[in-house]
Amino acid sequence: MDSGEGACSSLFEDTVHGIQAPSASDISAQAHKAAARMLMLLESGRL
């Protein structure tokens, strides 16, 4: 039972770290893309 819980929490921690690590850069990249799109729209007079 203990080994099962340990493996589960270890898997959970690995999953959380795996999700958190790339998310900041992904969000940053998405923000840059969104900003670039908005600039293009503003420059073309669509906004």
Q: 7-41 burial, b if ≥16 CB within 10 A, otherwise e?
A: eeeeeeeeeeeeeeeeeeeeeeeeeeeeeeeeeee
* Calpha distance 3→16 (Å, rounded): 20
* Calpha distance 34→47 (Å, rounded): 14
Average pLDDT of adjacent 10-residue blocks, the chain of 47 residues: 59 62 74 91 82
Output the pLDDT for position 11.
65
Domain boundaries, the chain: 1-47
Q: Is 0.75 topped by the overall pTM?
A: no
* Calpha distance 4→9 (Å, rounded): 9
Output the pLDDT for position 26.
79
